[in-house]
Each structure stands twice: as structure tokens, then as C-alpha cells.
Structure 1
């Protein structure tokens, strides 16, 4: 009897004290099993993860955690309370985009953690693993000992497995408009990019990079690091440890607070993402970023139509005209706007942007206090807004509104409803917003939580007025176009205008072949292509566009946006046969095929237009001339197309002879193979019209 009692007692003790060994690991793989994420707790309870691709480690042991204001860090002493795995395989429709349907296919692991000490604070980590990469984020559950959370640092690590070739821009808290540098991770020197003279605002506090940042391993595997669903949180840069080859999240801060993020539980962070691809082209194919966002919250966005547009914009960068009226060469006049409307209506272009229409431009930049300067409903007296809108409607053209805030956020917030209501009253459905200059209130940065909330709230409010937003000087794209499809495009890179006035000579020929594999992975880009007057004469003798005309045409296909500007002056288009491609090219796509490409070197993309069955191809190269064979097997079988090929002339060169272009027409089928010859800094654009 005594022996039996002892056995029962021991069983009871084991039951109460968990003699079973504590679970400290969890694993999840992609649907095709090529990518595996392994999570584990170290001996001191610190959360770590690793990532393998085809059994080869691509992210080695990496810790995660948070530093908090006036509270112990969420860093170690955790136990795993529970793990859950789920799977999903669904298809959703893009109201506009690079393709009509998107497959959202992943396996998910949720790891619920709890501290072992008296506070017993909880933190969940959710991993979604796709065939093209992974996303993971943190969930802060509602809990007694963690209610209002002040994050001073997020400590998400990415331990690289080699000194990869990297295409990067510095971790600037105020702007993304830097040229990309190609270097090894160990050679990244972001601080060397500080205080660029051509930037209206810039702040680079440490050796960090902005995202997306793309890398290629010595074995040819491609990795691109970014984030998805950036809502009510600070933008993330990645601090670079050049010795140990570690990237570590560095959130954008504020000089007005001693924390970087303020939230109340329960809440989730943005997704930390890594796209993984054996071929560079597969990075562009990936829909990881949009898939990690929530489904659309807007029932109907049929009021927005993807379009090409012209406008009163480039002439200001050239110095031909001015945004303000006082300078005596005001661009935004009723007469000038009507001229662009006439040109657009005649050339299958549905929109006209008018910048400089509203009062306040005399004091928009170069002044410390810019609050109260702009009026977003009052035009200059030489611009009849109602008449311009009436004339545009009569000619089947839409006016695109412009709201330059000069980063004076208080002024814009106060007038936002009135400005959007004016647009609704006039039937204007899209606005280009701008945020040039240092943020007011002083101490905030463009990419911090305070401004993230402003950008997102401005777009969400715009939807209430049936307005679509194309933000310049924005927060980075993180796939929110899925949740709020009135977020149509944005700048967020070094754009075309730098070619008109940058002291460093503008964007080099390698710029866009890098952008296609970096910035474009985040989302649509309003790059404003289509410059025909490459040398910018007679306006800018010291500057030029560093491409051929053929590449300017190819950009309409290569650089995706549902709005595409024909950016040059009317007089530079008229009489030029290359304008026909701009007339014909689509902006809304049924499907996209990335035919070839290497980061920073070249890329060729073909897209099928929705509703017509017509295809368009764009191919661009860097400073090196290239010859390549392209199969047209993407075309519909048993169908003949008329192909109009816009190609570099035999002696074309981005600097020496950029306007040399040849146009050739031929019949093709899916069996046809074409030889493309791209000049240095050149390109090829092709329309395939069904016969």
C-alpha cells in the first residue's frame, strides 16, 4: 500500500510541476516545402528564428525582441505557451493592377509566448510562409501588465550567411530620393550619403538602409527585405553591422518624443518580409507584399479609372514656367490647361494634372514657418478652375487635382475635408499630394509613426469623397493598395525630375534597372516617363535625361503604375511618330510576364491589357548595350498580332545620340522569336495588337 501511494504521489507531483520537457521549438514550411522557418528559444528564453531555402540556411540564428519605455525589455525569459499552424489557399481580384487575380497561398505558424517572471507579459509571433518568401509580425495581446506600450526600439535581427552583393539606399528618415549604391554588405556606408545638396529634406542618423533592399548571394539566390501593412507604426530601416553581417530593425523616431511607437494592446506590428527567389525576375513576379495586407475595405472603387495623363509640371522643373504667379511666368493658367486638355483628348490620354493652380506658392519652400501658406480651394485669378473642369469634361478628359502641402501638416489637416469636398463637387477623382520640406511640427520625420498615420488617414478619408491618392515625398509602399485601393501610386524614389536639375548629373542609366528589382517590389511608382527632349534644350544646358527615347517608351511597361504620365512638353511630342506608342500603351493589366532580367543590368517585361487582349513589351538596359532573344510565347496561341517595334537606332546612345529611334511593323504569333538590340542606356518598346 505504501509503495502504491508513493507512485500516485509522484505522478501527482509530475502533473503539477510539468515533468514533461518544455517545448522550445517550432517549424513551418512553404506549400512547396522549399522554404522552412525554424523558431526556437535559447537557454535564457530569448526568441530566435532561422530560414532555410532548399535546406541551405539563408538567415542564420536571429534574435527578436523589443525595448520599452519605463518597462523591462521584451527580450528573454519567455516560454512557449502554445503553437498553432494553419494553411490558406485563396484567390482575390485586383480592381486594378499588374494582373487580374492573385493567389494567396501560404502556411502559417503562430507562436504564443509568455514571460516566466511575475509580470507574465505575452507576445505572439506569427509567421506566414509562401513559396516566394516569408512574412512575420508581432501580436501584442490584451493583457493586465501590458496595456499602453511605448516602443523605444524593435530588435528584429536578420543574420546573413555571407557578404552578399547589395543594392541599397541609405536609411534616411525623411526621404527615399537617393541613388542606389551597389556594394557588398560589409561595404555599406550610409553616412557617406548624408546632406545631399539636391534634397529638400534629409536625415541619416546611422549606418542603416531603407527598404526594399535587395541582395544576391554568391550562389545566385536573391533576397529582398521589406515590410508589409505599415499602419499606426514607424517605418523600418535596417541598421547594418558590416563586421558580423547582421541587419537589425531600426525604427524611425521623433525628436518630440522619447519613444518611436505608441500603441495600446491589443495590436499587431507590420509584417517583416523577405522575398526569396532563385532568379531575379521572380522578385518582380512575387505578390508577397500585397498578399500580407488585409482584403479591401472599400466596397466600390469604380469611380477611379487607371489612365495616362499629361500636365503642367515638367515645364516648372525646366524653368520654362513657375508654380507661383508672382514670378511672372505662371504655368497654371486657364489657357495652358486647355492646351493640355486638347492635346490629351487628341492622343488617347484621359487625364491632365495641373500644378501651381492654388494660392500660396510664393512662400512654399525656403521658409521656416510654412503653416497657413497654402489654400487648397482658392485658385490664382488667372486659373478658372470651374471652366477648366467644364472644358475637360466636354472633351472626355479628367482633371487631376494637386495638393502640395510643403510638409505643413496642420494646414493640410484643417483644410482636408473642404479640399476633398471641392473635388467631389467638381467630379475630380484623383489627387497628387506632395510633402516637400522638413515636417512641421518640427521634430517629426516623414517616415515616423506620426506621419505614417497622417499619410494613411489622408488616403482613408479621401475614399469617403471618392478620391484616389498619388502621394509624393510619401511613406514607403507596403501593399496597402489591397486594403485601400484608392491608394493608387506614389513616388518614394529618385524620380525623373532629378534629371532636370540635380547637381550630380541626374539618374544614371543603371538607375531604373535597379529600381525594377528594389523600389518597384514595394508597389506602383509614379516615375513620370515619356521625355522626348532628352537634352532638355534650350532650358537646361547642364542637365539631361540619361536614356534614349526608346527607353523612355519602354518605361510605360517596365515601371508599373495605374497612372502613367506623358511628362514632356506638348511641343516635343507633336509630329514625333514615337508618340503613337504612348497613345496605344495600356495602363491596366490582365497579366504580366517578366521575360528576363538581372538587378542593375537589364529587364524585359510583357503585359496583357485588360479587356482588349493586346500585349505590350518594354525592355531596358543600363550603360551597356545588349542583344537578346525574346520568345513571344506569351501571346495567345493561333492568333496573329501586328507588332509595332520602337527600337534604338543603329548609332543610338544615351549620351551621344539619345534621340535616334527606328520604328518597324511586322506580323507575329506566339511562335515568333525576336532579336532585341538595346543601345547603351537604351530600350525597346513593342505593341502587339490583335488582328
Structure 2
């Protein structure tokens, strides 16, 4: 072939390659407002971009992996094929914020293969909704590659604005930090290290935990998280403050040089971005649960959403203790007659809570400190074998208590504090759950305070992700629902396993009772509603009536008004809501207690009426079966007036409204108990103006009038 023929041929080939590189694979949301583009660059690196309402939100962001047993997987790719499809259906929550859930998205699947001799394959799947997107990696079965030891996942989110960001550090062991509000470029996660006084905390780099929520100058709202976290390590997001870039940083282990070990074929969790043009739609989004698989348990009607009281807050106040005062003798916990007399979980005390619950439409009683071992539950290196989860202290008659509760129509909620000794708990789960099944207990609160045993593991690594999930799956076989504390973050698995009912995973109410930094500030929960609550239900334990509790602790208090404590039963969602204060404090305040007696816990519909991240939020929820509505609103340290429309109410229906709101002189610190209770009749055409005091709130019950 002569040179004059070779040159035109090269030009044709180069033009063909150029056209292929410029080709953009695009998928849009059903309403076409959200657009995701995907391609590989000239080096074969896969990347994506995201635009919302014609504005680029995520610029060119690369995808890939680093392994300890193989070459990295991030370039030299070619696109083998792509497929698109639309999916639109509706499913029902067995319990939840609403009954019907629309699941409408466009899916884009791209199959990649290395051009190198290894020819490894990797798929990337996008699901694009009107309110955000999720994408995950799929490692298909392939010759010559059976096991992946993932050193790091290299998923990027290259942002286009220096967003106002609401964040907690990428701690591998706890989420119990106060939120910071800074520019993205000002995030300094390691600044938390000298401030933490918690039982465990490990912040290895400048990263944040998810959900992390951002607000743009023109009102764009973003929240980054993950969905369907199964047999994988929890993801933090490493922050490049200079380039406004987030990159996945998986939680690791001191016992391995990899962070995730998986056998092919497998897929990762979904990496999620919620995208809205207003704050309320973040809460209204069902993106996280929709990205999980459908219910695998079938009928879970044995679990009943409920309010519950319990032997808990009194220990945080110092009124009583978890431990009885036993001693270890010849390897067994023994009553040597030296009990200190402050034990809270006594038969008599628990019966008192049962009686109160039965009188006040409260279906459960939690009992902490009932079983032997609390004398050595924390502060000891060797905690394996301390708890057995079946042996009560001498002053707690399990048979008598459970029979008494049954007669009163109240369920005892079991408590399993594992002290993070995971091997002990794993070995004894069958025995512990069988005991619950014997007594007709259908809910357990589990706890994991302390450094994880075996040593070298972290609460948010793959080892513990599997432990939490496996514990819940096993519990379902005994018709037990799990409310985990010191957990891995929720990622929507409650859809797949509806016995995963709630969890902690944030700085909770108890910090108000004993923290040395002044407790949770008034802005805490208006941030939580738009961050942590986007991940799933929260067992926050609201309902503290004795705000100052000076008779127990003069240096601590709850930093809200009484009206806000009522509002939390609507604003902070959980299918199990604790009525957390002491019986005597409720009995002294029967009028505000009425709202707790009336308020629902299981909802047919939820409407987020207004809100701004970190400032305020108002939510209305319609109770299943009764059709009654309840409204709650909270604010930060600033007083504000809220204009309410009730157009969400049923047509041609009148409601008796009981309004619990801050008094004229109410203030979270100066006068937290000032509350006004009013009654009036409302319809869907009504309007109302309500003033919220500093750190205050309001609650409204809307009961149908026949």
C-alpha cells in the first residue's frame, strides 16, 4: 500500500475514534429534569456527570477500584454494550412514614471490559429518579478472577460549587458527634479529635460520614449517602477542600490489608445522591428505600409499631443504675449481699412502668439492666462472656413481670447490651431470641458500646456490617424486630428486612443528661431532620418533660422547650417512639401528656409542610386506620412565626384540633416549660399562624369529628 493511501485511512480511523470518545451515553429522570451522562475517556477511564435543571451538579467524576490481590481497575476500559429501561410501580410499607410508595426510575446499564490482556469485566448500573439517583458496581462471574480483595473504592463526586455543608466526621466507630455547618472547602474532620470524650472514636482522615447534606447559593439541595449496604464496608467521603471533590473512603480493619473481601459475582451498595430544589423534598424522598430489594420476610404483622416507656432515662440521670452490685466468684456472677440498692430494673419498678403505660395508650416497656454482667460491661478489655442475655438479676422476676405485662396489654421490650463483644452475642443469639419468643416479646433494643471485639475491627467495617445484618436476619426467624444502638448507619434495608425497625446512629437525647459540652444545642434536631433522618428511622427517645432535672444534675438540661419535646413525636420518625421521662414527671403534667397518649406511630401519609436545613421544619402525618392527622414543628435557637395551611386534610371533614405551643415567654433555657394548650375546630380550608420560641416548637392533634 502506498503512503498516499495510508494517510487518508489514518485520518478516517482517528475521526472514528474521536467520534466514539465524544459520544455521550445519557439517561434522564422520568420528568427529564435530572440528566446523567456516562462515558470512558481516551485512557479508558469510566466517568459520569450529573445535571439538574440544566445546571451541572456533578462534573466529570471517575470510577474505579484498588485491590491488594490484583491490579487496580480504573482505566483501559471499552464499552461493550449499554441498555436502558424504565421501571414504574408502587409497593406498600408494612409500617412506615406512608403506606404507598411510588418507585419510578429510568435504568441505565453499561458493561465494561478491559482492553488489556486480563480483559476483566465490570458493570456500572444507574437508577435515575426525579429526586436523585443511585449507582452501583457489578462484578460479573468471569474466568481467572474469583475473589476481590478491595483496598479502596475510587468513586468520585466532583462538585461545582462550594456548598454550605452539614456534616459530621468520617469516624469509623461512632456517629455520635454534633453537626458542623461550614463551606465544603472548610471541612476539617480532624478538628473533632481533641473534642471527643466518647467511649470509642477513630477519625483517620479528613472525611465525612453520610448522609451529608449540602445547600447551594441558589437553593439547590444535595445529600450523599448509600443504599443496600450488605456484605461490604461502610463508605465515608474523603474531602478535597481545594478542588471541591468527594471520594469514597471505605472503613477498614486493623486485621487485614484490604477493606472488603468478596467472591465474584457480587455487587456493591448503591452510591446515592438526592437532588432537590428545596429542603422539604429531601425528607419526602423515598430514594434510599426504593434502591433496596423488596420484602424477603413476608408477613411481619407480629411486629406492632408502638410507643414505649422504660427503665432507661433514670440511669442517665443517676437516679438508678444498670448494675445490681454482684461480684464475679469462680467465673459466675454471684449475689454476695453487697447490692448497692440503686438497681433500676426491679420487678416493682418495672410494674410501675407497666401500669403507667397501660393507662396511657402506650404499648411497650423497655427494661435495661435486667440481666447479670453490668458490673463489668465497660472499661474492661476482656468483655467476652460477661453477658449471657438470659439470666436476670435476683430482684427481677422475669416470669412475674412478663405475665403482669400480658395481663395489662403491654409488651416487654428486651434489651441486649453486647458491650461490643460480638463473638459472645453471636454464639448466644439463638438462646436469647428463643427466650424472647417464649415470653412473647417481639422487639429488642441491642447496644454495642465500646471498642469492637475482636480487636482491630470497627463499628462501620465489613465485619460489623455483616454482624448487624445477620443478627437481624436471625432475629426474624424468632419473630423479633431489632432496634440497634451504636449501629451501622441505616441504608434502607428495612424494606428488605422489615424487622429492622429503627436504630440510633446519631447523638441522642442521653447526651443532654451527661455530656460535658452542654448537651445537644437547639440547632441539632433541625439539622438531624435533613441529614441522619434521610437514612431511616431514628430511636431518639423524645418526651422529656422535666427539662432542667436539677434534682439530679444541676449542670445538665435538655435544650428545647416542652412544646418541642411533643413535636418530636411527629418530626423525628420511628415506628417505636420512647416516652422517655420518669413516670412521676408525666403524672405531674397530665395536659401535655395527652398529646403523647393521642399521637400515632404508624402513618398512611406524610407531608413536609416547610423547612430549611438547620433552621426549622414542620411535618404532618396521617395515622393509619384512624385517619387522624398530627403536625409537629421545631426550630433552632431563633424564634420564628410559621404560617400553616391545612389543605392536606380530607374534604368535607371537620377536625378537633388540640394545639400545644410555646407560651409567650417560652425559651429553651430561660423558660422551657411555658406552654399554651388550645382547642379549636379546623377544616382543609383553615389557616393558622404559630409562633415558635427560641429552641421551641409546636404539636397539633387533628381528630376527626363524626
Question: Do these two structures clear the TM 0.5 threshold for a shared fold by scoring above it?
Answer: yes
Match for residue 659 of structure 1?
Answer: 673
Whether the 8 Å CA contact 2:69–2:148 is kept in 1: the answer is no
User: 4+ residue runs of structure 1 moved beyond 3 angstroms?
Assistant: 18-25, 195-198
Whether the 8 Å CA contact 1:284–1:516 is kept in 2: the answer is yes
Q: How does 1:531-542 map to 2 (within 5 A)?
A: 531-542=544-555
Matched, 1:241 2:240: yes
Matched, 1:676 2:675: no
Whether the 8 Å CA contact 1:479–1:523 is kept in 2: the answer is yes
Alignment deviations for residues 14-63 of structure 1 (CA, whole Å, 9 cap, x no partner)? 99xx9996576311000000000000111100011000001110000100
Whether the 8 Å CA contact 1:316–1:331 is kept in 2: the answer is yes
Distance in 2 of aligned mates of 1:458 and 1:135? 27
Match for residue 80 of structure 1?
Answer: 79
Q: CA-atom RMSD, angstroms?
A: 1.5
Matched, 1:646 2:650: no
Q: Give the CA deviation at 1:299.
A: 1.2
Q: Which runs of 5+ in 1 are unaligned?
A: 1-6
Matched, 1:163 2:162: yes
Give me the TM-score of the superposition, normalised by structure 1: 0.97
Alignment deviations for residues 638-681 of structure 1 (CA, whole Å, 9 cap, x no partner)? 11100000011110000000011110000111111011110000
Distance in 1 of aligned mates of 2:298 and 2:319? 43
Distance in 2 of aligned mates of 1:447 and 1:626? 39
Matched, 1:403 2:421: no
Q: Is the partner of 1:71 in helix, strand or coil?
A: coil
Match for residue 199 of structure 2?
Answer: 200
Whether the 8 Å CA contact 1:309–1:351 is kept in 2: the answer is yes
Q: Give the CA deviation at 1:572.
A: 0.3
Whether the 8 Å CA contact 2:210–2:236 is kept in 1: the answer is yes
Q: Is the partner of 2:389 in helix, strand or coil?
A: coil
Whether the 8 Å CA contact 1:196–1:202 is kept in 2: the answer is no
Match for residue 254 of structure 1?
Answer: 253
Whether the 8 Å CA contact 1:94–1:100 is kept in 2: the answer is yes
Larger mean Cα displacement after TM superposition, 356-365 or 140-149: 140-149
Match for residue 29 of structure 1?
Answer: 28
Distance in 2 of aligned mates of 1:36 and 1:22? 20
Match for residue 633 of structure 1?
Answer: 647
Alignment deviations for residues 554-597 of structure 1 (CA, whole Å, 9 cap, x no partner)? 00000000000000000000031100000000000000000000
Distance in 1 of aligned mates of 2:116 and 2:162? 39
Q: Which runs of 5+ in 2 are unaligned?
A: 326-339
Distance in 1 of aligned mates of 2:387 and 2:549? 30
Q: How does 1:527-606 map to 2 (within 5 A)?
A: 527-576=540-589, 577-606=591-620
Match of 2:455 among 434, 437, 442: 442
Q: Is the partner of 1:249 in helix, strand or coil?
A: strand
Distance in 2 of aligned mates of 1:538 and 1:143? 67
Q: Is the partner of 1:72 in helix, strand or coil?
A: coil
Q: Is the partner of 1:421 in helix, strand or coil?
A: helix
Q: Give the CA deviation at 1:195.
A: 4.7
Distance in 1 of aligned mates of 2:69 and 2:681? 71
Q: Give the CA deviation at 1:199.
A: 1.0
Whether the 8 Å CA contact 1:149–1:264 is kept in 2: the answer is yes
Whether the 8 Å CA contact 2:487–2:504 is kept in 1: the answer is yes
Distance in 2 of aligned mates of 1:56 and 1:617? 35
Q: Is the partner of 1:344 in helix, strand or coil?
A: helix
Larger mean Cα displacement after TM superposition, 247-256 or 63-72: 63-72
Whether the 8 Å CA contact 1:195–1:203 is kept in 2: the answer is no
Q: Give the CA deviation at 1:146.
A: 2.1
Q: Is the partner of 1:214 in helix, strand or coil?
A: strand
Q: Is the partner of 2:72 in helix, strand or coil?
A: strand
Match for residue 3 of structure 1?
Answer: none
Matched, 1:328 2:341: yes
Q: Give the CA deviation at 1:349.
A: 0.2
Distance in 2 of aligned mates of 1:659 and 1:20? 70
Q: Is the partner of 1:73 in helix, strand or coil?
A: coil
Matched, 1:452 2:465: yes
Judged with a 3 Å threshold, the aligned counterparts in structure 2 of structure 1 residues 197 and 63 are, in CA distance, closer, same or farther, namely closer
Distance in 1 of aligned mates of 2:615 and 2:458? 33
Match of 1:344 among 332, 357, 368: 357
Whether the 8 Å CA contact 1:509–1:623 is kept in 2: the answer is yes
